[in-house]
């Protein structure tokens, strides 16, 4: 493809995928509602917001529980779902008569799975919802409402708002993806791969952070508000800010490196992909350029080994530890730390070079819910004390989609406390590497009965990139 053709994504709205998805989620929701001792649940998409003292606001983003049933293209503010075990789920779709904004059509392709009613005013929609609820139960305290607390006008007096007995079970179940969700995430990965390929080309031609950002948007066919999260496009020392949020309009005179963490969103499901590049040559000291280039190659092997270690029944906390053990090897063999790898690991020195967790669950949310939840009733497993940023502590199981994203950064604020009191740090090399910022490599993997499906690598292959680490 030369970049002007449209890429055709994998078919997703097929009768088989939709049937299986709605059968699965309906089963989960019905069972959850029954187990939590409710008669039904009303899921509210949410309300459009305005900025303070302003007449416009952020792009509307629906409640993720709603998005599991209704893709974002149709997830109109004020719409809601009425889900009642044994009854067809009803979508109350809000379609105002509006000439300021275009109004989406109802999702008629889902009419085999949902009963769709359309309303042109919020008052009518609320009235219908209330009547519907009254027909389905005589016990308003057995009605659960899932949505933002601000939706006061719909909320029945005795309805239970976001009851934890229900939310915990739903969050827990969301980790295992249906085939439709997996297909959406494969497409989100293809969008991400297209964006990353264009970003890499732009960088190799000397593009600025802003140029790279725009190249990513264009190739992945997304505008900013459609991204699953704000692009992280960091050149040189900016890569040491884990969630760097700006885009410089000018390429630095000494261009050393690029870290780009950016993904695609397809039917509301995310990909979350990071790649790091080094310039073929830079004005930085030859020694530092050679060291960073070698570190980058080593980090790619490091990430490969971690991806290959993911397996059902495995412990992500152990993988987090393995990440630090391997990082200790890399830092010592590259003479960044002048002690043994065992000492570096045992004294936690690697933690100053990688303060984030190895990864997290992925799905409707980039940091998807339930990563630290070990039972459906909501019991949590906190991360180990020395890895407080680890978002994923529950056992790895089949059909989860998770990220594997080891990093190695030169972050002055974390390194500085060691400067005058630790003999193991090679400050000459560390100071020379700070202008390169850091390295992160991130893939998204689905857990299979044995081993994994690497959604990210497969997407790069699908678009014709054969290098395992484009």
Site of interaction with ligand GLY (CB under 6 A): 229, 261, 272, 366, 405, 442
CB of 359 to ligand GLY, least distance (A): 8
Question: 289 is written with which tokens?
Answer: 């350029």
Binder of residue 368, out of Mn ion, ligand GLY, none (CB less than 5 to 8 A by kind)? none
Out of 78, 272, 298, 368, the only residue in the binding site for Mn ion (CB under 5 A) is 272
Question: 367 is written with which tokens?
Answer: 């940091």
CB of 354 to ligand GLY, least distance (A): 13
Of 229 and 241, the one with the shorter C-beta distance to ligand GLY is 229
Of 81 and 270, the one with the shorter C-beta distance to ligand GLY is 270
- CB count within 10 Å of CB 115 equals 12
Binder of residue 39, out of Mn ion, ligand GLY, none (CB less than 5 to 8 A by kind)? none
Residue 39 in contact with Mn ion, rule: CB under 5 A: no
Binder of residue 229, out of ligand GLY, Mn ion, none (CB less than 5 to 8 A by kind)? ligand GLY
CB of 272 to Mn ion, least distance (A): 4
Residue with the closest Cβ to Mn ion? 261
Candidates 59-67, 81-89, 195-203, 261-269: pick the segment binding Mn ion (CB under 5 A). 261-269
Of 9 and 229, the one with the shorter C-beta distance to ligand GLY is 229
CB of 405 to Mn ion, least distance (A): 5
Out of 211, 261, 298, 368, the only residue in the binding site for Mn ion (CB under 5 A) is 261
The SS3 of residue 46 is coil
Of 144 and 396, the one with the shorter C-beta distance to ligand GLY is 396
Looking at residues 439 to 468 of the shown chain, list those that interact with Mn ion (rule: CB under 5 A).
442
CB of 258 to ligand GLY, least distance (A): 15
What residues line the site for Mn ion (CB under 5 A)? 261, 272, 274, 403, 442
């Amino acid at each position: 493809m030369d970049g002007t053709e449209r890429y055709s994504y994998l078919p997703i709205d097929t009768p088989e995928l939709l049937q299986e998805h709605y059968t699965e989620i309906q089963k989960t929701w019905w069972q959850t509602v029954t187990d939590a001792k409710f008669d039904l649940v009303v899921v509210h998409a949410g309300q459009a917001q305005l900025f303070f003292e302003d007449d416009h606001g952020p792009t509307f983003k629906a409640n993720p529980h709603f998005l599991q049933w209704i893709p974002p293209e149709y997830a109109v503010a004020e719409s809601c779902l009425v889900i009642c075990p044994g009854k067809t789920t009803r979508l109350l779709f809000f379609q105002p008569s509006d000439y300021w904004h275009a109004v989406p059509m109802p999702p008629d392709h889902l009419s085999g799975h949902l009963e769709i009613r359309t309303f042109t005013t919020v008052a009518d929609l609320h009235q219908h919802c209330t009547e519907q609820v009254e027909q389905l139960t005589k016990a308003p305290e057995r009605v659960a409402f899932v949505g933002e607390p601000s939706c006061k006008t719909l909320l029945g007096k005795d309805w239970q708002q976001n009851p934890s007995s229900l939310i915990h079970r739903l969050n827990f179940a969301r980790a295992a993806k249906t085939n439709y969700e997996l297909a959406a995430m494969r497409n989100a990965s293809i969008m991400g791969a297209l964006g990353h390929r264009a970003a890499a080309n732009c960088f190799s031609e000397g593009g600025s952070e802003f140029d790279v950002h725009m190249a990513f948007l264009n190739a992945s066919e997304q505008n900013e508000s459609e991204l699953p999260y704000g692009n992280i496009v960091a050149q040189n020392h900016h890569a040491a800010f884990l969630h760097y949020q700006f885009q410089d309009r000018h390429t630095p005179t000494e261009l050393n490196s690029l870290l780009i963490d950016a993904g695609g969103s397809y039917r509301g499901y995310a990909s979350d992909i990071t790649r790091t590049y080094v310039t073929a040559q830079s004005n930085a000291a030859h020694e530092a350029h050679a060291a960073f280039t070698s570190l980058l190659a080593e980090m790619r092997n490091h990430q490969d080994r971690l991806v290959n270690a993911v397996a059902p029944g495995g412990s992500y906390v152990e993988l987090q530890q393995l990440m630090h053990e391997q990082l200790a090897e890399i830092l010592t063999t590259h003479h960044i730390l002048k002690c043994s790898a065992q000492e570096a690991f045992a004294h936690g020195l690697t933690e100053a070079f990688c303060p984030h967790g190895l990864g997290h669950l992925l799905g409707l949310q980039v940091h998807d819910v339930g990563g630290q939840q070990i039972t459906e009733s909501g019991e949590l497993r906190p991360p180990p004390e020395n890895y407080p940023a680890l978002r994923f502590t529950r056992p790895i199981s089949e059909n989860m989609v998770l990220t594997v994203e080891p990093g190695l950064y030169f972050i002055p604020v974390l390194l500085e406390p060691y400067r005058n009191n630790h003999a193991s740090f090679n400050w000459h090399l560390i100071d020379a590497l700070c202008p390169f910022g850091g390295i992160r490599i991130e893939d998204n993997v689905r857990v299979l009965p044995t081993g994994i499906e690497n959604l990210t690598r497969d997407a790069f292959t699908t678009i014709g990139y054969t290098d395992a680490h484009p």
